[in-house]
Amino acid sequence: MNPKGQEDPGEDLTSRVGAESPCSDMKRAAAKKLIERYFYQLTDGCGNPQCDNQNCASSGKVTNLTPNQAAAQAIQLFSQEARLCDGTQPSKVPRTSLESGPASLAKSLPPKSMNPSCSVEGKQVPYLTETKLLGIIDRCKSEGNYSLLIRTLGEVFSSAEALSKSFQKTEKTDSPLSALLDRAPVSLLGPPSDLNKEAVRALQGEDKEIDSSDPSPSVPHPDDTSVDLEAVRRSFAALWSISGEEFESALVNALVTLADNIELDLRVFGIMPSDSTDTLLNVFLIVFEIPVLGSSDYLEYALHMLCKAASCLPISAQAKLSRVWARHCRTRLPRLLQTLQQLITVKMIAGSFTRDYCVQDADTITAPTKVMKILYYASMLSGELDAPEFCQDEDVEPMGIDKSDRAPPAAPPPQDPLAVELGISALDARRPYIDFTDFYNELLSEMVEMDKDFAYYKSEQPKKFSFMNYAFILTPATKTLGLYYDNRIRMYSERRMSFFQSYVGQPTNPYLRLKVRRDFLIDDALVELEMVAMENPTDLKKQLVVEFEGEQGVDEGGVSKEFFQLVVEEIFNPDYGMFTTQEETQTTWFNPTSFESDAQFTLIGVVLGLAIYNNVILDVRFPMVVYRKLLGRKGSFADLEDWSPTLYRTLTEMLGYVGDDMPDTFMQTFKVGYKDVFGSVLYHELRENGDEVYVTQENKREFVDLYADFLLNRSVERQFKAFRRGFQMVTDESPLALLFRPEEIEQLVCGSKVFDFTELEAATEYDGYTVDSDAVKNFWRVAHALPLESQRRLLQFTTGSDRVPVGGLSRLKMVISRHGPDSDRLPIAHTCFNTLLLPDYSSLEKLEDRLLKAINYSKGFGML
């Protein structure tokens, strides 16, 4: 601490810099650049062995100087306006290493090593800085010869050691000079005649610290990087300001060599020391900043090699790369995603895939997919995440079922190691920086063979790649196939076990068979399902077969569809008392005052699980928070936006209110009201003596969170736990949570919201007709002209469900079959096979009349 009245030079330098004008900044930059040129002339020389400048290292007249001594002398030369050699540019790379001749940079490189600090015979590993690269570009432009640039890029970008030391935020060899120049006011760095000699004296002592009064640096953030990414971007912008023909071929070749060497090192050495991890992270941070990775030869040769190398990084290194991208490269992420998508699409188009060599075997596709996963989590980390308290899994222990009768709990689906390392999942991302749908690759989703992919997913060989472990890249329609194969294989397994038990004298039914009466549908269904759940819950994983008493239908899928449709219509009706309808959104919610037992809600959960398990789409409208809660997340304030938009806006306005008169303005206490199924108003205190506690600026956030928690969690806790319990009795062994996010599960349950008969027409096949048949043309004229409600009836009549499957109506593959010549008979449908039996009606009017009668009055099976 200085005596009163004395000026602290350090304080003067730092305090005065902030008050300088833009003009001062320009003078500072010019002066700093000139002083740096003197510094590197003293330390590295100009590269001319015949140099006669006594202040140049290449002349042999400059003795070995410490960095501090060189910095002090550089400032003196600047003040004296001393001679500068031609071509001398500021750089942190030894000048002699970058000049042509026998002692080229390539010969100075150390042998390939994972440690960037290694050197051979005491020679430094070369590297680039922004200033150095700009100097080389300027020199090449002035000479009209780009050989130095080509050689520099080729040598630095082909070496992980060299590249990892490039574009660093701080450099030890420059610390005395950089520290002074960064802190000095423009009066110090003004014209040489005005130079403040105090700065020179401060550097006269050998290896003395610059301003030892500076506070110690703060502890670095674990997601920080030593790479100056802004400098990297400016450098690449300057590089591509010249014609790419001058250097791009050399750069591409260097990147291929770099990636090949890194991949080889990682596969040979496996686990790396932490310093090597930082080395490679620096490398990938720099190369993925190249702005043209998605074009020309970079896409064809270099990018997939870089992706292969990056995919070999250990999980801890991938996690750190994801965090650094999220923290420092947020705006770069969408462009990088577009580049990876472009690479995958190009390789898909160019590839020749067969059953023996499928998409999963091509590293040109799997490697960028693995890198895309790192980007996928970076997008979530840089977006809006749920608070940890909303990520707690809820209790799902079955109630009312004898544990001794239950099968041992199945092992949960394997978790993504990268997600575990990062401590997040897709459920945590409320709003990712990049929308989840942008990660879908439509072409890949269409071409991937999910049966083969599912086999790879189930394979015990760890090297088998399966897109089911990278489900973010697949569309929901394709992921539905993966779930379908999993469900069917489990059904067949249960069937084989039943046959085996029958063979050894313990016969069991190979199917989950339900026999119900139409007039007592709910009672019959719930009683039978309750008996199955109590006696042997594993029977719920058998294939469902439904029989309506007194009807001829044999269930090949169509009868089950109608069964689920009728159950949903009745049990989700508010008159039934188990669920209510939100007036504003017309969505279904649990009745908090329901008199039904937990077992009833458990069985409703079983019905929902069975619908997914048997690939049946239901006409239910749950708010999104239900699907989030089914996957183990609690409802939070953000979920109110979908659950009750008006309430959400009101509470948002409360949070945004800044006046001190909040109690008088809102007159809201911690006592809230809600209505039961009969319309009566009930009250609940969110905290003890809540009726006496008014909402203020200090506790408004607490009120909002408690209110949301009460509405979405606590008020329906008993009902929802029972509901989820039943759901998981069917889906506990399913990869449902691995493949689908909440909004995708909604599509899985409810189907697509896009109702396009044009898609259905394009996907329809014909038996006995052709697309040019008059009856077919008349049918589609009538179908397209129908109102939406009638179109839904036609869809239900033909397929057994009026819901659109995930992926659109093109997924239905409807068949129109000729059912004899013109007659007065009505059309007939085989809903199990999506087949419409259509007589060859003689006129458009007759077809319309018969078709409308069929879809409006048909119900059940065996009824004409």
Altogether, the residues listed in the chain come to a count of 864
Distances (CA, A) of 492 to 20, 481, 542, 607: 78, 16, 8, 20
Burial class (CB in 10 A: 0-12, 13-18, 19+), 359: buried
- Beta-strand pair 588-590/671-675: unpaired
Closest CA to 561 of 620, 605, 507, 611: 611
Helix (H) or strand (E) holding 117: none
DSSP codes, 715-743: GGHHHHHHHHHHHHHHHTTSTHHHH--HH
- Cα(130)–Cα(231) distance, rounded to whole angstroms? 6
Are the beta carbons of 422 and 377 closer than 8 angstroms?
Answer: yes
- Cα(561)–Cα(792) distance, rounded to whole angstroms? 14
- Cα(761)–Cα(836) distance, rounded to whole angstroms? 13
- Cα(704)–Cα(639) distance, rounded to whole angstroms? 12
Own/partner pairs, 481-486, CB within 8 angstroms, 24+ separation: 481/450, 481/451, 482/450, 482/453, 482/454, 482/457, 482/735, 482/739, 483/612, 483/734, 483/735, 483/736, 483/739, 483/740, 483/748, 484/615, 485/450, 485/451, 485/454, 486/454, 486/734, 486/735
Sign of CA dihedral 732, 736, 739, 741: negative
Helix (H) or strand (E) holding 342: helix 333-350
- Cα(747)–Cα(762) distance, rounded to whole angstroms? 22
3-state secondary structure of 471: helix
Q: What is the DSSP letter of 102?
A: S
Annotate 529-538 with b (16+ C-beta within 10 A) or e (fewer).
bbebbeeebb
Given 358, 391, 750, 832, the catalytic residue: 832
**689 conformational bin, left if phi > 0, alpha if psi -120 to 50, beta if neither:** left
Are the beta carbons of 105 and 152 closer than 8 angstroms?
Answer: yes
What phi and psi, each to the nearest 5 degrees, are found at residue 69? -65, -40
Closest CA to 611 of 794, 410, 810, 748: 748
The full 3-state SS of 497-517, as one line of letters, equals HHHHHHHCCCCCCCCEEEEEC
Rounded to the nearest 10°, the torsion over CA 746, 786, 581, 587 is: 30
- Cα(415)–Cα(794) distance, rounded to whole angstroms? 43
Distances (CA, A) of 177 to 94, 131, 231, 505: 16, 14, 19, 90
- What is the 3-state composition of the chain as percent helix, strand, coil, each rounded to the nearest 5? 55, 5, 40
Helices 742-750 and 598-613 cross at an angle (nearest 10°) of: 80
Q: 788: how many CB neighbours lie within 10 A of its CB?
A: 9
Are the beta carbons of 399 and 722 closer than 8 angstroms?
Answer: yes
Q: 303: how many CB neighbours lie within 10 A of its CB?
A: 31
Q: Which two tokens stand for residue 394?
A: 């809820």
Q: Which two tokens stand for residue 539?
A: 């029977």
- Cα(515)–Cα(522) distance, rounded to whole angstroms? 11
What phi and psi, each to the nearest 5 degrees, are found at residue 435? -60, 140
Helix (H) or strand (E) holding 701: helix 700-712
Which residues, at least 6 apart from 687, have a Cβ–Cβ distance to it below 8 Å? 670, 693, 706
At residue 3, what is the residue type? P
Residue with tokens 């303005």: 665
Question: Is 391 marked active-site?
Answer: no
User: Catalytic site residues?
Assistant: 832
